[in-house]
């Protein structure tokens, strides 16, 4: 190969990813263990044992219908670790999850470069992806939703790449990632359906215009075959009865089995009885305002273009990816509303919608810079995104509790009206604070058994001065207020420390022993 054929490195891309890689390596240990992490790890482990040890536990496991596209590789990494300490294992999971999230950002960058041929727009889109406070923070511990977000971005890129190049290898790769996407979350069927329709349109168009359909048909068959094969191979639950078990998983996830309550506008509401605006409201109050404005503007632009020239954007043209973005954004929201789907923990199950939203936001910026002034529009975009980055730095590691300016910040309003640290990943901050401010040789903390207060203490603080205890013996009680929006009146006057974000208490440490000995002197006892 001649030297002048070697592609020049994209320094903008390299700079962005180098910065976020270094930041991730520095902060991935700053987060505690979330509510579902032990169960998620167990789900991956059971599938691993089914494959390698012929264990039958998978057949009875309550979450057997969960895809393991990401959990199974995490178990494989875990099995090859030199350290077998739970703390090291969970921190590895946090790091690997974040690295996979970064790959999604790489796909966003390449997709925008491919479609719009503009490095600055690609950089803006990538920064929008990385600098959503809630999604970025979740990217360290949320193995349920973040892999699906990253895979969605990767699939969008390979879809655009394959249809542009018509190379069979690219359709093969698209099929592999689509199979993993559906495995990660059943909602991936939507993307598969869109690509399926695009293929049918192209085959019909080729036939009408007298072009050979063999190449398009070959790509279509490769896509279908490798999607199905990858889905089957990567999901052991399907090995038993592929069609029946896939249908069962699809039905179960469309009406998920969670009977709990969520906090919305000051009321605890059953997850099975959510108002239609639950998801749109959460998206609207936890996404930076600038992102919302430019995203809605881009959506309006895309709808306007599609309405004026609908057939132009259904053919095999780069702009067809805008149609795919619109469908990926609008259809899931409509489906959730119409089907009364069970949602909880804000809008994390719909985080993947942010990927097509980014594409539409970038389209809006592209339209503006063509109509107004390129340097002004780009400069203002980078400035506002930079200010959001500064805000995220100042709020770290509580980015999972980000609320924008649409939400009132009066004292304790958010705590009393909306879920905050619903997964309990910030309990480690409370435990660190106790260790830093209590010099006792042995410190006992309490909370609800099986909740993150217990999980984090047991796993992250094993072999330290702090341990989990029965309430009778505990020195401190720690709460994240989940399911308890009101104040703890029994602890009035015994507050040791509170972490306050958005003018609301996120976590509070109470001096439990002092309260308990005063309130129940006949039951209290010391070591």
CA distance 322 to 313: 8
Look at residue 7 in the predicted model and tell me its pLDDT.
64
pTM for the full predicted model: 0.94
CA distance 116 to 214: 29
Write down the mean pLDDT value for the chain: 92
Closest alpha carbon to 110 in 158, 47, 60, 68: 158
Find out whether 329 and 306 touch, Cβ atoms under 8 Å: no
CA distance 253 to 138: 21
Span 254-310, pLDDT tens digits: 766 777 889 999 999 988 888 999 999 999 999 999 999 999 999 999 999 888 887
Collapsing DSSP to helix, strand or coil, 318 comes out as coil
Span 65-102, pLDDT tens digits: 899 999 999 999 999 999 999 999 999 999 999 999 99
Which residues of the chain have a pLDDT value below 70? Answer: 1-7, 255-256, 316, 449, 520, 522-527
Task: Enumerate residues 6+ apart whose C-beta is below 8 A from 188.
Answer: 148, 151, 152, 155, 178, 181, 182
Report strand pairing: 443-446 vs 466-468.
parallel
Look at residue 1 in the predicted model and tell me its pLDDT.
40
Residue 467: enclosing H or E segment and its boundaries?
Answer: strand 466-468
Find out whether 39 and 64 touch, Cβ atoms under 8 Å: no
Look at residue 524 in the predicted model and tell me its pLDDT.
54
Residue 286: enclosing H or E segment and its boundaries?
Answer: helix 278-286
Look at residue 6 in the predicted model and tell me its pLDDT.
62
Closest alpha carbon to 74 in 28, 42, 31: 42
Span 146-195, pLDDT tens digits: 999 999 999 999 999 999 999 999 999 999 999 999 999 999 999 999 99
Domain ranges for the chain, please list them: 3-395, 427-519
């Amino acid at each position: 190969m001649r030297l002048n054929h070697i592609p020049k490195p994209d320094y903008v891309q390299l700079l962005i990813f180098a910065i976020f890689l270094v930041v991730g390596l520095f902060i991935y240990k700053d987060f505690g263990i979330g509510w579902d992490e032990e169960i998620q790890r167990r789900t991956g482990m059971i599938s691993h044992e089914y494959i390698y040890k012929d264990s039958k536990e998978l057949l009875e496991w309550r979450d057997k219908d969960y895809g393991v596209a990401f959990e199974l590789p995490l178990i494989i990494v875990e099995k090859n670790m030199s350290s077998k300490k739970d703390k090291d294992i969970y921190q590895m999971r946090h790091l690997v999850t974040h690295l996979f999230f970064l790959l999604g950002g790489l796909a966003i960058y390449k997709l925008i470069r491919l479609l719009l041929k503009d490095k600055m727009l690609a950089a803006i889109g990538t920064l929008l992806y990385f600098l959503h406070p809630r999604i970025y923070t979740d990217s360290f511990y949320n193995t349920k939703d973040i892999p699906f977000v990253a895979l969605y971005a990767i699939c969008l890129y390979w879809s655009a790449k394959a249809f542009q190049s018509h190379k069979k290898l690219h359709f093969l790769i698209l099929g592999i990632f689509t199979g993993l996407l559906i495995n990660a979350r059943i909602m991936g069927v939507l993307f598969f359906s869109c690509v399926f329709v695009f293929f049918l349109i192209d085959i019909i168009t080729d036939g009408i215009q007298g072009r050979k359909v063999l190449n398009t048909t070959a790509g279509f068959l490769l896509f279908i075959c490798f999607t199905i094969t990858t889905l089957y191979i990567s999901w052991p639950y399907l090995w038993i009865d592929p069609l029946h078990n896939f249908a069962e998983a699809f039905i179960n996830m469309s009406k998920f089995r969670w009977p709990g309550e969520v906090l919305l506008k000051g009321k605890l509401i059953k997850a099975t009885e959510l108002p239609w605006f639950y998801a749109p409201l959460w998206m609207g109050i936890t996404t930076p305002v600038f992102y919302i404005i430019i995203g809605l503007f881009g959506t309006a632009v895309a709808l306007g273009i599609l309405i004026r020239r609908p057939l132009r954007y259904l053919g095999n043209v780069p702009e067809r990816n805008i149609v795919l973005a619109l469908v990926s954004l609008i259809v899931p929201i409509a489906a959730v509303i119409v089907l009364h789907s069970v949602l909880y923990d804000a809008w994390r199950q719909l985080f993947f919608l942010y990927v097509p939203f980014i594409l539409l936001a970038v389209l809006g910026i592209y339209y503006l810079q063509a109509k107004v002034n390129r340097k002004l529009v780009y400069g203002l975009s980078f400035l506002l995104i930079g200010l959001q980055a500064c805000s995220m730095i100042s709020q770290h590691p509580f980015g999972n509790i980000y609320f924008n300016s649409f939400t009132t910040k009066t004292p304790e309003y958010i705590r009393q009206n909306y879920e905050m640290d619903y997964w309990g990943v910030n309990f480690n901050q409370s435990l660190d604070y106790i260790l830093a401010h209590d010099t006792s040789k042995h410190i006992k903390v309490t909370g609800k058994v099986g909740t993150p207060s217990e999980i984090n203490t047991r796993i992250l603080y094993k072999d330290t001065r702090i341990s989990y205890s029965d309430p009778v013996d505990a020195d401190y009680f720690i709460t994240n207020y989940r399911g308890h929006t009101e104040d703890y009146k029994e602890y009035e006057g015994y507050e040791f420390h509170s972490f306050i974000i958005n003018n609301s208490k996120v976590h509070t440490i109470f001096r439990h022993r002092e309260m308990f000995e005063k309130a129940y002197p006949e039951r209290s006892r010391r070591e």
